[in-house]
Amino acid sequence: MDNYRFIISGGGTGGHIYPAIAIANELKRRYPKAEFLFVGAKDRMEMEKVPQAGYKIEGLWITGIQRKLTFKNVLFPFKLISSLIKAGNIVKRVKPHAVIGTGGFASGPLLRVASGKGIPCVLQEQNSYAGITNKLLKNRVQKICVAYDGMEQFFPADKIVKTGNPVRADLIRLNVDKKLALDFFQLDPTKKTVLVLGGSLGAGRINKLIADKQPYFKELGIQVLWQCGKGYIETYKDYSSETAKVHAFLNDMDKAYAVADFIVSRAGAGSVSELCIVGKPTFFIPSPNVAEDHQTKNALALENESAAILIRETDLDVDFEARFSEVFNSEKKQMELAKNMKALALPNATSAICDEVEKLLKK
């Protein structure tokens, strides 16, 4: 049988959406006749990104609980009841053979309903610190696919499978010609390149740092390939020069990674997984504005393995130049970081997660 029906739920951020799409693509490759439905949260980015990837999506009226008393919190019980009812109707109509949740508000009601009806459920947790939705679902699902060691503190040990996080297929085979990639971005092949990534929306603090450090990079003879984010391009486009190429967004990430000698990045789970495969000296500047400060914990997991450098936003003014120069001036340090980073890579994550789904289908 290969005409299975799958419901996949995850959203709110790219870190939940892109793994969900990658899992769907792999299952579709294995089962071309399978049917897929995504379930997301209304008004969140998955409602746009999932149809762009070629899949149907339905939205639930659900949001998280705010940390301070707001009108949204007053509405939360009504949203939860509404979402549980709609999720129940979706599950009853689709009759899925398996349900996969990759985190985010919408996956809570959906997996709660599906698991209650005895449908096999798989969770995928991207971060080293588990999200609240996945923690609430841990006793209701059959398998929990994780990317880090030590996740027994959040989940039952017998349900955990270390698979890693799904990454974009074009990154699994990083065989881009560096010279062609340098030409593509109009970069100087005689200079070292630092690649700056603040996520698709951009990171204000990282952008300010890179703008302030232009004289420092010039002094070192370094050029900058800088993804500043769509929300910041108007502020920083005038920084474009022979030695700094400023882009709102970089679509050709395989080429961007090919030109990079050093990388400055946020520490979202997806970025960390990609960068382990890339294996270049990386400076993580975690966002302090995410739930449970999970980006800092992700970066710390790599720093503890001597695989990356973690610099907190509060320490940038004091520490950045010293920490960067230390790596820049030591080929030995660069090689150590790259080697340890690659040792943590799990490039077959998508396939491993789908293997777990298949095992449940065969049961």
Tens-place pLDDT, residues 105-131: 889 999 999 999 999 999 999 999 998
CATH number of residue 132's parent domain: 3.40.50.2000
Note the pLDDT of residue 77. 72
Q: Looking at the structure, do residues 138 and 188 belong to the same domain, yes or no?
A: no
- Determine contact, residues 83/60, Cβ cutoff 8 Å: yes
Which are the contacts of 74, defined by CB distance < 8 A and separation ≥ 6?
none
Q: Looking at the structure, do residues 18 and 104 belong to the same domain, yes or no?
A: yes
Select from 166, 171, 200, 170 the least CA-distant residue to 19: 166
Which range marks the domain in which residue 281 is found?
170-343
pLDDT band at 70 (very low <50, low <70, confident <90, very high): low
Answer with the residue of higher pLDDT: 67 or 16. Answer: 16
pLDDT band at 290 (very low <50, low <70, confident <90, very high): confident
Q: Looking at the structure, do residues 139 and 195 belong to the same domain, yes or no?
A: no
- Number of Cβ within 10 Å of residue 172's Cβ equals 15
Q: Looking at the structure, do residues 278 and 352 belong to the same domain, yes or no?
A: no
- Determine contact, residues 34/7, Cβ cutoff 8 Å: no
Q: Looking at the structure, do residues 175 and 309 belong to the same domain, yes or no?
A: yes
Q: Looking at the structure, do residues 123 and 245 belong to the same domain, yes or no?
A: no
Distance (Å, rounded) from C-alpha 242 to C-alpha 73?
Answer: 50
43 HSE (CA, 13 A, CB side): 3
Place of tokens 């294995």: 30
Tens of pLDDT, residue by residue over 310-325, are 999 999 999 999 999 9
Q: Looking at the structure, do residues 271 and 290 belong to the same domain, yes or no?
A: yes
Answer with the residue of higher pLDDT: 305 or 292. Answer: 305
Place of tokens 């914990």: 297
Torsion of the alpha carbons at 345, 194, 327 and 170, rounded to the nearest 10? 10
Q: Looking at the structure, do residues 324 and 235 belong to the same domain, yes or no?
A: yes
Note the pLDDT of residue 69. 55
Select from 178, 176, 150, 175 the least CA-distant residue to 162: 150
Note the pLDDT of residue 184. 96
* Distance spanning both ends of the chain, measured CA to CA: 13
- Determine contact, residues 289/299, Cβ cutoff 8 Å: no
Spell 149-171 as b/e; 16+ CB within 10 A means b: eebeebbeeebbeebbbbbeeeb
In the predicted structure, residue 173 carries a pLDDT above the cut 70: no
Strand ranges (E), the chain: 5-9, 35-41, 56-60, 98-101, 121-125, 143-146, 160-162, 192-197, 222-227, 244-247, 262-265, 282-284, 309-310
pLDDT band at 76 (very low <50, low <70, confident <90, very high): low
> Residue 240 to residues 190, 191, 264: CA-CA distances in angstroms?
19, 16, 18
Question: Tokens standing for 60?
Answer: 């639930």
Distance (Å, rounded) from C-alpha 286 to C-alpha 6?
Answer: 34
Q: Looking at the structure, do residues 203 and 294 belong to the same domain, yes or no?
A: yes
pLDDT band at 172 (very low <50, low <70, confident <90, very high): low
Note the pLDDT of residue 360. 97
Q: Looking at the structure, do residues 111 and 187 belong to the same domain, yes or no?
A: no
Select from 70, 92, 72, 18 the least CA-distant residue to 49: 18
Tell me, what DSSP letter sits at residue 97? S
> Residue 82 to residues 61, 95, 113, 133: CA-CA distances in angstroms?
7, 20, 13, 17
Note the pLDDT of residue 32. 96
Q: Looking at the structure, do residues 308 and 195 belong to the same domain, yes or no?
A: yes
pLDDT band at 99 (very low <50, low <70, confident <90, very high): very high
- Determine contact, residues 262/283, Cβ cutoff 8 Å: yes
Tens of pLDDT, residue by residue over 200-242, are 678 999 999 999 999 999 999 999 999 999 899 999 999 999 9
Note the pLDDT of residue 13. 77
Note the pLDDT of residue 30. 96
Place of tokens 């769907």: 24
Select from 60, 2, 47, 1 the least CA-distant residue to 20: 47
Annotated binding site for UDP-N-acetyl-alpha-D-glucosamine: 13-15, 127, 168, 200, 295
Annotated binding site: 13-15, 127, 168, 200, 295
253 HSE (CA, 13 A, CB side): 18
> Residue 270 to residues 1, 109, 159, 338, 346: CA-CA distances in angstroms?
33, 24, 22, 18, 12
Q: Looking at the structure, do residues 96 and 131 belong to the same domain, yes or no?
A: yes
β-partners of residue 224 are: 194, 244
6-15, 55-64, 69-78, 326-335 — which is least confidently predicted? 69-78
User: What domain count does the chain have?
Assistant: 2
Note the pLDDT of residue 85. 87
